[in-house]
Amino acid sequence: MTAQARPHAQAQRFREFRMPDVGEGLTEAEILKWYVAVGDAVTDGQVVCEVETAKAAVELPIPFDGVVSEIRFDEGTTVDVGTPIIVVDAGAGGAGPADEAPGGGAAAADGGPVTVEPEPPAEPAAKREAVLVGYGVSQASTTRRPRKAAVPPQGAELNGHGGGAVSAAPVAQAPVAPAAPAAPASAAPASAVAAPADRPLAKPPVRKLAKDLGIDLATVVPTGPNGVVTRDDIRAAAAPPAPLPSAAAEAAAAVAPGARETRVPIKGVRKATAQAMVASAFTAPHVSEFVTFDITRTMRLVQELKEDRAFAGLRVSPLLLVAKALLVAIKRHPEVNAAWDEASQEIVHKSYVNLGIAAATPRGLIVPNIKDAQDKTLPELAASLSELISTARDGKTSPAAMQGGTVTITNVGVFGVDTGTPILNPGESAILAFGAVKLQPWVHKGKVKPRQVTTLALSFDHRLVDGELGSRVLADVAAILEQPKRLITWA
């Protein structure tokens, strides 16, 4: 091989895998877990890591074969889309010890530096389309967040862990206008690059527990196998327990003893939800209506269906019949199933129902939907509903499962709440809140008797749905649940 050909061969040998755009129109993702380490062989299509975007946890497969030569970011790091996260030696047999550079990177056979072949850069964020239902980025917020601060002085903590070696890499400094106030150190451009420090061994749930409790993993004495930090280690280090942040918080900074305030970064699901709800509240004129009724017969039907062979192995709950009642009401009043197209100034009527179900997960509230729910039988709807909820709770909901919703149900009754005024998912026409079912005195056949009573609340977009239409839809849902035989006579 000639001297000119050698660098080209080396460039083809080492390949970068960049953080991809997983189809959500988002600009960054947090690395939750690495499934490979330096020196591991990987094959085309093998999952190498799990990342979390604003709405879902996604596993990333690598698109080529080789041996891992470098992992650029630790678990828990938020990385911009298009940034290289892992380098793979695509040469036959992988790189031997003689091929590794002193800093952990690869070196050419003659001792010179190796050029790494980058993957094609990701499409700019401004050109991607937001495809998550109600949770895409707005056109006014396509700029990326500022990069993190310069590396602190030697001896200071880096990402919560001290002792990391720092090697300076000079960069050009932009001139600063004399009248401009001095920027704080935390906002200064990065002027140094830190080599990754040794991280305590701990699984992602343990790291999250430590983060929630404000515990630095580097200060915890591990008792698990091979020096792994366990949950018990974190709890022991937290005695007396530090105050926990709210359940909505996804990450919290360490809290000094006796602190009166705690600041929690706004990111992930909380950030996306906030943006979507603000956009919806100030775009679609909301109207909310309520109905309280006797749901005793439906509750009895739920118990009967649980014993029916057609539902063997399926989860049967009142939510299943609420969903079916809403689908029947939409079939009777199809005009409610529509969307407002501001750009073309058109109302889009939909002949399909992608039924969203708001699901509380460890990462926050998400709204996956059941595609073409109007065509499903009751057992099929039960199976789809069970799969949707289980997948969401496991944190495995895919971005595709949250696209294209038309109407949504939120079950606030599981929290003991009677009702509420839910905010629409942007792009949808209506959202139904199902309240708690409680035994209450009720006039039944002319006598006051204890009956199962609940309240439904329907919020709808008044541009699409006028008061009469919204009232008819809500009244039909209540009528079906009060007399569930109407599932047959009205379907």
Structure tokens at 100: 């590794």
* H/E element, 29: strand 28-34
Beta-strand runs (E) in 395-437: 407-411, 430-434
CA distance 425 to 215: 36
Nearest to 28 by CA among 81, 83, 82: 81
Q: Do 265 and 145 meet the contact criterion of CB atoms below 8 Å apart?
A: no
**What tokens were used for 7?**
């660098």
Phi, psi values for residue 79, rounded to 5°: -125, 135
Instruction: Tell me the three state secondary structure of residue 297.
Output: helix
Smallest CA-to-CA distance from 68 within 106, 32, 122 is with: 106
Compute the distance between CA of residue 421 and CA of residue 462 in angstroms, rounded to an integer. 14
> In whole angstroms, what is the distance from residue 154 CA to residue 167 CA?
10
**Position of tokens 């000119």?**
4
End-to-end CA distance of the chain: 75
Q: Are 404 and 371 a contacting pair, CB within 8 Å?
A: yes
Question: What is the rounded CA–CA span in Å between residue 33 and residue 220?
Answer: 20
E strands present in 106-203: 166-168, 192-194, 201-202
Active site residue 444: no
Q: Which of 17, 109, 132, 23 is nearest to 63 (CA)?
A: 17
- Could you give the 3-state DSSP secondary structure of residue 441? strand
* 189, 226 Cβ separation under 8 angstroms: no
Answer yes or no: are the C-beta atoms of 477 and 432 closer than 8 Å: yes
Residue 227 has what DSSP assignment? G
Catalytic residue among 8, 349, 444, 462: 462
* Distance from C-alpha of 144 to C-alpha of 139, rounded to nearest angstrom: 12
Question: Which residues carry out catalysis?
Answer: 462
